[in-house]
Structure 1
Amino acid sequence: MSGVRLKHQRITEVLAKEIRSGRRPPGEQLPGEHALAQRFGVSRTTVRAALAELSEAGLIATRTGKGSYVLFDGRPLDDRLGWARALATQGIDTRVRTVAVRGVHDEQLADQLGLHSPEFVCVERTRELVADAVVVSYERSFLPPVPGIRELPERGLERESLTDVMGRAGLRPDHGEQRLGGRRIDAREAQLLRRAPGDWFLDTRRTSRAADGSFVEHVVSLLDPDHFRLTVEFG
């Protein structure tokens, strides 16, 4: 067992060095398991262990079979825990501004999500790049009004991470789905995004659920197409 561990650690170190040094540019797809196994003279099981470590370190995003994922400036984002952590993992420094935290009654959304209660807590935020203050996203997170969340409209988020607040409230995403389209932004959205009404933005809808299938979060995001794009893999 120790020999296998040493082998996959060696592969992890070599690939991590190639990624961090820029030899493998952001967004470049690594060779397949078979090619890596041949390169390092190991089994595919050993390669999988190395790829798992690279994924855990945030250096790659692995996907099997068919799937789609979002890129930021060519870098793959694993946004299952939200844009903040996904961007931070890639070393992208952003600043978040909370626009509003309020309770909402939305029967259409509840019906769409298969929920009995139409009551939500909605957290609206914009996200901008620290380097040049360009606003790259406007996000609305719809959360169930469970203890720890239902109080947010009164006390606000302050400087807390929404992900951390959700974790303390027992809202931990396990699986879900994400849909992506595009549309022109309206006057209010344009003001928040510092753009012109009618500008075209990517529109993503991500619904997360806990391991038992219960509702955790529904996020509607407008993403700047100058920085974000969708990649689809097949085969």
Structure 2
Amino acid sequence: MTGVPLKHQRISRILAREIRGGRRPAGEQLPGEHALAQRFGVSRTTVRAARAEVSEEGLIATRTGKGSYVLFDGRPPDDRLGRVCARARQGVESRLRTLAVRATHDSGLATELRLEKNTFVCVERTRELVADATVVSYERSYLPPVSVIRELPAQGLGQDALTEVLLRAGLRPDHGEQRVRGRRIDAHEAELLRRTPGDWFLDTRRTSWAADGSFVEHVAGLLDPDHFELTLAFG
């Protein structure tokens, strides 16, 4: 039935609510797959899908052989300044689709970010609605080619959330900036988004840095304003 969340969505929302509400503080280990499966009366596969959604929100990190740990500390994740949030998470099922994972050179971006090296690993993804396959966003994530990350072009992301991959590589965002403006998309972008050239989209640029000032991630995105909104947190 349209509008009724799937089992894993229901579980992910409960876990996210517990984390955001402070019932599970930062650093706490989540119960294991077996315990969560028993709690919710579902399979371990469903638990894994739910956990992946919570991880994609930046609330937890899963470490192979060690379990899942809470990252959320009461402040917005990622750059801690502000973020563009998907309205699609509020009752409308969506999915991420990886288009490409490749090594690339971008001297312009390196100059803009004041980086010595112009080599990146670029992950291209779209988000689409499950109901009708409408593409609501397109993003390119530029990552430093450190250990783990530089292996992605050959290995791919698999079922891992990009947030988890960053953490395995030792890349944890601490601060940064995000810029958002509206503009009309060109013909190439319209083809990727399955839209019409000239359609209005949000053009976003987000750069994250670690606590020691090292580069973590630069994300260039195009977001459908009917499905995304800018949220700013102060305090």
The match for 2:130 is 130
For the residues of structure 1 that align with 2:177 and 2:169, how far apart are their CA atoms? 22
Displacement of 1:62 in angstroms is: 6.8
TM-score relative to the length of structure 1: 0.62
Q: CA offsets per residue over residues 184-209 of structure 1, 9 Å max, x none?
A: 21222212211012211101101011
What value does the CA root-mean-square deviation take over the aligned residues?
Answer: 2.9
TM-score relative to the length of structure 2: 0.62
Contact 1:138 1:221 in 2 (8 A): yes
Displacement of 1:169 in angstroms is: 0.8
CA gap of 1:156–1:62, structure 2 versus 1, over 3 A, is closer
**1:113 equivalent in alignment to 2:127:** no
The match for 1:187 is 187
For the residues of structure 2 that align with 1:204 and 1:55, how far apart are their CA atoms? 31
**1:164 equivalent in alignment to 2:133:** no
Flag the structure with larger Rg.
1
Displacement of 1:231 in angstroms is: 5.5
The match for 2:3 is none
- Does the residue aligned with 1:151 lie in a helix, a strand or coil? helix
Q: Structure 2 stretches of 5 or more lacking a match? A: 1-12, 14-19, 26-53, 60-73
Contact 2:179 2:205 in 1 (8 A): yes
The match for 2:204 is 204
The match for 1:53 is 22
| One-letter identity of the residue aligned with 2:84 | V
Count the aligned residue pairs. Answer: 167
Contact 2:110 2:116 in 1 (8 A): yes
Higher relative contact order (CA 8 A, sep 6+): 2
- Does the residue aligned with 2:206 lie in a helix, a strand or coil? strand
Displacement of 1:69 in angstroms is: 4.8
The match for 1:176 is 176
Displacement of 1:53 in angstroms is: 2.6
Q: Structure 1 stretches of 5 or more lacking a match? A: 1-19, 21-50, 74-86
More helix by share: 1
The match for 2:84 is 70
Displacement of 1:91 in angstroms is: 5.5
The match for 2:33 is none
